[in-house]
């Protein structure tokens, strides 16, 4: 989703802005732009459709320099990805703005400004904001006051960066509904959508809160809260380093992140398990008490995180004995609910900034839940800050749009939560010990599965010319089949659907032929024999099977049934292990197809609009 970078410094900021945009590329975007205020008091702008590389080319061909500037990567919402719609937007060559989010009342604003003589050159909602700020400046406001009076009229979500050619020392930032951080330097200050953009220039950040407006100068940062009162927000030093988000020797971030999973899972377990039990520290005393009181769980999430929630439902019910509902956030937030007594509301999110998940959480506050728990990968995210209880996944920065290590670490954190909850609801010590042992073995077992990559890469060749595919699983493997299908469709653009294998004969079997590969995950569990019967149904219709299975339960391989065997694994953690080959399969199909693996078309990493 859109990315913002801005800087006010004593040095030329154009390279800082471009490097920042590069580091935000992973969020997903389709055009980019920058504006700097040149020493002669003129706003210079470059915009380009496509990658940041195109913007860099424009800058190299005609360099614009200045000590004050803003830049943006745009993920189109209002209007196609064209140069005219790319940010920054400029009003009468005097004010420039970058914006993330959606202004819902931009149409009446646009009508009023058009009537006042303002020209609109784009289809964006943002242009109304920049013209409105200009109108206030003309009326005599200074840049901060003008910005504040305009945002008071905005409905919707925004993070904004504003500069004026008349104000060489000032960068105004504002946020409501979209993330924005202030980077603190010495004699220079920055803004960005996330810390990753600014790691080469600072590790000290102020996380703006909802409704905050900040005035950045070279000397300092002044923040006003939503009520217009001056506030102090703490400066936090991030543990991330500039190279935390680099690809290393891997060809794509996704490949790197798939291979980081054994370490990421081990880190998520670190300090949270002992020999045979989950430590109370895993969740903290408050969470332990609340989960002890809980009688039900409601999970809300989007995308891959939603699939983690679906797996957790099986676990909460089977291991902790608590009823558990799971819903995608965009549905949850727009329907009426009956909230059963003593229900804990759990959000799952890699970024902690997904607009629908955050809105669902805010909705949940008013609905009488026992408490809110966030399982999240970004410590300073809105979701973390706004939840009662937090369990961090420790995946490290995830850059590839298609989520991989965030998913398996979410599952790890969820299983820890389920076990800790289960203990207070009658889970026996021997069972807990078995689960903890299984969790502890996972990183090594994941390494074994990663070693299967050459065989999976060879399998991927059979998908390259296909247009459709079917993923089957049963029990906890059904959500894993859903996740495998999501990975394949996201990055290879092959239509992929997941079904619980038992539903095959209620519809999808009609689609099965030699042109529709059928992918199945089949660990050795109570359902595997039933699953194998379902696979016979596919074979009898001339379908081609690609099966990931435990050697002890695998169907016989032949020309129409390719089998890759995985090491034996405890049933409880099998979902984590069987995710890995599906990630690798999607990755290699995408590489063979030559798609943009890390930034697939039309998708964004962090979906900060509804
Ligand atoms: C986007 C990303 C997905 C992610 C989903 C939810 O669609 O492309 O990879 O699963 O958002 O994101 P979250 O940060 O809330 O987990």
pLDDT in tens, 27-64: 878 999 999 999 999 999 999 999 999 999 999 999 99
355 lines ligand 1 (CB under 6 A): no
The yes-or-no verdict on residue 281 having pLDDT over 80 is: no
Ordered DSSP codes for 135-180: HHHHTT--HHHHHHHHHTT--B-EEEEEEETT-TT-EEEEEEBS--
Distance of CA 476 to the CA centre of its chain: 23
Would you say the pTM of this structure is higher than 0.85? Answer: no
The predicted pLDDT at position 248 comes to 83
The H or E element spanning position 357 is: helix 355-365
Any idea which residue has 């377990």 for tokens? 269
CB 330 less than 6 A from any atom of ligand 1: no
β-sheet bridge partners, residue 561: 545, 558
Q: Give the pairing type, strands 371-376 and 389-392.
A: parallel
Which of 1, 254, 403 should be mutated for ligand 1, with most atoms under 8 A from CB? 403
Q: Tell me which of 242 and 483 has the higher pLDDT.
A: 483
Q: Which tokens sit at 52?
A: 């940041």
The per-residue pLDDT for range 335-372, each reduced to its tens digit, is 999 999 999 999 999 999 999 999 999 999 999 999 99
* Phi then psi dihedrals of residue 420, to 5 deg: -60, -40
Task: Give the residue among 71, 21, 75 at the shortest CA–CA distance from 43.
Answer: 71
CB neighbours (10 Å) of residue 526?
Answer: 9
CA–CA distance, 167 with 144 (Å, rounded to integer):
11
468-487 pLDDT, tens digit per residue, is 999 999 999 999 999 999 99
Query: CB of 608 closer than 6 A to ligand 1?
Result: no
Three-class SS of residue 500? Answer: strand
Confirm or reject: Cβ of 393 under 6 Å from ligand 1: no
Q: What's the whole-number mean pLDDT along residues 322-346?
A: 95
The DSSP bridge partners found for residue 47 are 33
As a three-state string, the secondary structure of 10-36 is CCCCHHHHHHHHHHHHHHCCCEEEEEE
**What are the tens digits of pLDDT across the range 366-400?**
999 999 999 999 988 899 999 999 999 999 889 99
605 tagged catalytic: yes
Ligand 1: which of 305, 381, 579 to mutate, most ligand atoms within 8 Å of CB? 305
Q: Is 2 a catalytic residue?
A: yes
- CB of 305 within 6 A of ligand 1: the answer is yes
The model's pLDDT over 585-595, given as tens digits with 9 standing for 90+, comes to: 999 999 999 99
pLDDT at 1: 72
Q: Give the distance (Å) from ligand 1 centre to CA of residue 54.
A: 27
**Predicted pLDDT of residue 179:** 84
- Exposure letters 536-565 (e unless 16+ CB within 10 A, then b): eebbebebbbbbbbbeebbbeeeeebbbbb
Question: Residue 575's closest CA among 279, 382, 321, 304?
Answer: 304
Q: How many residues would you count in the chain?
A: 610
Pocket test for ligand 1, best of 354, 355, 485, 604 (most atoms within 8 A of CB): 354
Q: What is the dihedral of CA 440, 441, 442, 443, to 10 degrees?
A: 90
Cα–Cα distances in Å, from 502 out to 93, 523, 527?
63, 16, 10
Burial status of residue 90 (CB atoms within 10 A of its CB: 0-12, 13-18, 19 or more): buried
Q: What is the pLDDT of residue 282?
A: 82
Residue 244 pLDDT greater than 80, yes or no: no
Question: Band of the pLDDT at 317, cuts 50, 70, 90?
Answer: very high
User: How does pLDDT run across 500-549, given as a tens digit for each residue?
Assistant: 988 988 988 888 888 999 999 999 888 788 888 888 888 888 889 999 99
For the chain, give percent helix, strand, coil, nearest 5. Answer: 40, 20, 40
pLDDT digits (tens, 9 = 90+) for 149-198: 999 999 988 999 999 999 999 999 999 988 899 999 999 999 999 898 99
């Amino acid at each position: 989703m859109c990315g913002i970078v801005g800087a006010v410094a004593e040095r030329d900021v154009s390279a800082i802005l471009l490097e920042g945009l590069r580091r935000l590329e992973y969020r997903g975007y389709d055009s980019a732009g920058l504006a700097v205020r040149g020493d002669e008091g003129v706003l210079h702008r470059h915009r380009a459709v496509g990658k940041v590389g195109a913007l860099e080319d424009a800058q190299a061909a005609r360099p614009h320099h200045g000590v004050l500037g803003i830049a943006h990567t745009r993920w189109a919402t209002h209007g196609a990805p064209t140069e005219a719609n790319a940010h920054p937007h400029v009003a009468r060559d005097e004010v420039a703005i970058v914006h993330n989010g959606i202004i819902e009342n931009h149409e009446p604003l646009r009508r009023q400004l058009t009537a006042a003589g303002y020209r609109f050159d784009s289809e964006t909602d943002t242009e109304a904001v920049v013209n409105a700020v200009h109108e206030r400046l003309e009326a005599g406001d200074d840049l901060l006051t003008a910005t504040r009076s305009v945002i008071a009229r905005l409905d919707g979500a925004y993070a904004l960066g504003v500069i004026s050619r008349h104000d060489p020392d000032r960068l105004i930032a504002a946020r409501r509904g979209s993330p924005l951080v202030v980077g603190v330097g010495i004699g220079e200050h920055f803004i960005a959508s996330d810390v990753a953009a600014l790691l080469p220039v600072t590790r000290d950040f102020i996380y703006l809160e909802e409704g905050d407006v900040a005035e950045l100068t070279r000397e300092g940062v002044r923040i006003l809260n939503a009520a217009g009162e001056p506030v102090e927000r703490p400066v936090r030093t991030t543990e991330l380093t500039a190279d935390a988000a680099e690809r290393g020797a891997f060809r794509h971030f996704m490949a790197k992140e798939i291979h980081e999973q054994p370490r990421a899972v081990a880190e998520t377990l670190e300090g949270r398990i002992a020999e045979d039990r989950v430590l109370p520290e895993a969740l903290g005393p408050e969470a332990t008490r609340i989960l002890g009181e809980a009688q039900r769980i409601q999970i809300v999430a989007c995308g891959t995180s939603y699939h983690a929630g679906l797996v957790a439902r099986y676990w909460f019910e089977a291991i902790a004995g608590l009823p558990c509902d799971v819903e995608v956030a965009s549905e949850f937030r727009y329907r009426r609910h009956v909230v059963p007594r003593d229900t804990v509301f759990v959000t799952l999110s890699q970024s902690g900034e997904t607009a629908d998940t955050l809105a669902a959480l805010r909705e949940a506050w008013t609905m009488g839940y026992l408490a809110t728990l966030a399982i999240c990968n970004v410590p300073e995210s809105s979701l973390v800050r706004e939840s009662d209880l937090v369990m961090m996944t420790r995946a490290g920065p995830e850059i590839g749009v298609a989520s991989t290590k965030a998913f398996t670490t979410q599952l790890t954190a969820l299983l820890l939560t389920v076990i800790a909850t289960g203990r207070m609801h009658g889970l026996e010590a021997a069972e807990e010990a078995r689960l903890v042992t299984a969790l502890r073995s996972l990183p090594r077992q994941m390494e074994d599965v990663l070693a299967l990559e050459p065989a999976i890469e060879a399998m991927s060749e059979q998908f390259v010319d296909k247009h459709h595919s079917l993923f089957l699983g049963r029990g906890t493997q059904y959500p894993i089949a859903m996740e495998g299908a999501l990975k394949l469709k996201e990055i290879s653009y092959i239509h992929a659907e997941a079904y619980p294998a038992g539903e095959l004969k209620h519809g999808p079997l009609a689609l099965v032929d030699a042109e529709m590969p059928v992918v199945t995950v089949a660990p050795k569990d109570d359902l595997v024999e039933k699953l194998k019967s379902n696979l016979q149904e596919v074979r009898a219709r001339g379908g081609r099977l690609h099966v990931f299975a435990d050697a002890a339960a695998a169907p016989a391989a032949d020309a129409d049934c390719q089998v890759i065997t995985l090491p034996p694994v405890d049933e409880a953690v099998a979902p984590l292990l069987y995710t890995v080959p599906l990630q690798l399969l999607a990755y290699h199909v995408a590489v063979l197809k030559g798609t943009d693996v890390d930034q697939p078309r039309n998708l964004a990493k962090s979906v900060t609009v509804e």
